[in-house]
Amino acid sequence: MRYSGFKVIKEALTGHKGWKPAWRDPEPQSHYDIVIIGGGGHGLATAHYLAKIYGEKKIAVLEKGWIGGGNVGRNTTIVRSNYLLDGNEPFYEMSLKLWEGLEQDLNYNAMISQRGIMNLIHSDAQRDAFVRRGNAMMLNGADAEYLDLDQIKKEYPFLNFDDARFPIKGGLAQRRGGTVRHDAVAWGYARSADSHGVDIIQNCEVTGFRIENGKCLGVETSRGYIGASKVGCAVAGSSGRLMAKANMRLPIESHVLQAFVSEGLKPVLPGVITFGAGHFYVSQSDKGGLVFGGDLDGYNSYAQRGNLPVVEDVCEGGMAIMPMIGRARLLRMWGGIMDMSMDGSPIIDRTHIDGLYFNGGWCYGGFKATPASGMVFAHLLAKDEPHETATAYRFDRFKTGHMIDEKGMGNQPNLH
């Protein structure tokens, strides 16, 4: 069933009796060509591109709970491609391009809003670093714009420009960045994948892998054994737990990241802004809530909740750049589990086990990567070789010294 303006009007006039579920609820078959573990944004996007672009048949997505209940439903909805390093920027720029065409591709309203993102600059050294980053972005076909103080004052007059400690000196803007309705991303990909014949199997937890002679034959699940020629894992924060079932250790730690939303306000914040002297990012949702977040709590955790010191730290960051945020009341806060890799960049690669593929280590940058992650993982699963934008995301880069360390923090996952 295609969605259209005509369909909306027709249903409005006929009592909304013609709407059908957006995807089926199939029983698992005994064997699939490709099984994807994880019904989040990345897993569903992978299934969509496998079926639509790479023409694969007999695909299943296994989800232990309900689809979109993990990090795709827990993030701060920001999309951007403002990376510095060669291993990353072409990949994230492809992602942003895919976001731009996503709604037409899926025939689904994901409320993609290219309202722009601006990273604030607070010192001369930071200006140099951000201008360099902007140049790297433009070299890779992305857009970047240096804003001086007067331009920022025109667009964001309420910021705390003359703070004694962290005065605002300028900003690096990416106009094509913005926000996306995050749940709709999961639902849109699920609906499209389903319409191309993908079985989306919810409440189906993978409890183990069947591996014989170094080859993965299928997965044991809470709904029985499912055979598969290829198995792709895209479970983000649960990567460590899942891959341990295949006796694999990963260069990943799981950490909790908190996010916050204020009560609904009239429009006050036109784009996404980030604080350059602390760690704070904020945008305003279409419902009016200020959606914001900051640092990880900093310790390994699989609990989808954090602790109060980080709440204080994030709110201090907000008050430092945008004092009017102190007048808004906090409505909700929540936590998600981030698969923090040792260099802050993802891994999309074959494993040493034949037929078993891994997609993870997204740290807290997974949402913006959703379309590209799906595309390159589909490419890897279908063709058994990496997509040209994802050749750097290898498992063995930690051994060979080809780390992609945007922040230059070394092997300290809680600092990336």
Partner 1 sequence: MIINHPLLGPRDSAEFVYLGDASLIERPDPAAETALADFVDYAYMRENPAGSLRELWFHEAGDRSWLVVTRNTMTHDISDVQMARDVARKIGRSK
Per CB under 8 A, residues contacting partner 1 are 238, 240-241, 244, 249-254, 298-303, 307, 309, 342, 398-399, 411-414
Tokens representing 32? 């699939």
Contact 360, 241 (CB under 8 A): no
Q: Name 108's Cβ contacts closer than 8 Å, sequence gap at least 6.
A: 3, 184, 187, 188, 191, 192
Compute the least distance from the CB of residue 410 to partner 1, in Å. Answer: 9
Which residue is associated with the tokens 């959606």? 291
Q: What is the rounded CA–CA span in Å between residue 145 and residue 139?
A: 13
Q: Could you tell me the smallest distance in angstroms from the CB atom of residue 415 to partner 1?
A: 10
* Dihedral (Cα; 100, 106, 112, 117), 10-degree rounding: -40
Closer residue to partner 1 (CB): 227 or 298: 298
For partner 1, which is the closer residue by CB, 240 or 366?
240
* Cβ at position 257, least distance to partner 1 in Å: 14
Residue 223 C-beta: closest distance to partner 1, Å:
21
The pair of structure tokens assigned to 247 is 């006796």
- What one-character-per-residue DSSP string does 357-385 give? EEEE--TT-TTTTHHHHHHHHHHHHHHSS
Smaller CB distance to partner 1: residue 94 or 257?
257
Q: Given the structure tokens 């993030």, which residue do they identify? A: 75
Helix (H, G, I), strand (E, B) or coil at 244: helix
Q: Tell me the two tokens of residue 292.
A: 């914001």
| Residue 342 per-residue DSSP state | S
Q: In this complex, which beta carbon is closest to partner 1, that of residue 117 or of residue 348? A: 348
The residue among 89 and 253 lying less far from partner 1, judged by its C-beta, is 253
| Shortest distance, position 355 Cβ to partner 1, whole Å | 22
Residue closer to partner 1 (CB basis): 266 or 399: 399
49-60 CB burial, b ≥16 within 10 A, e <16: bbbbeeebebbb
Q: What are phi and psi of 239, to 5 degrees?
A: -55, -45
Residue 198 or 310: which CB sits closer to partner 1?
A: 310
Q: What are phi and psi of 110, to 5 degrees?
A: -100, 10
CB of 350 to partner 1, least distance (A): 17
Q: How far is the CB of 33 from partner 1 (least distance, A)?
A: 30
**Nearest approach, Cβ of 411 to partner 1 (angstroms)?**
5
Nearer to partner 1, 222 or 411 (CB): 411
End-to-end CA distance of the chain: 43
| Tokens matching residue 202 | 């919810």
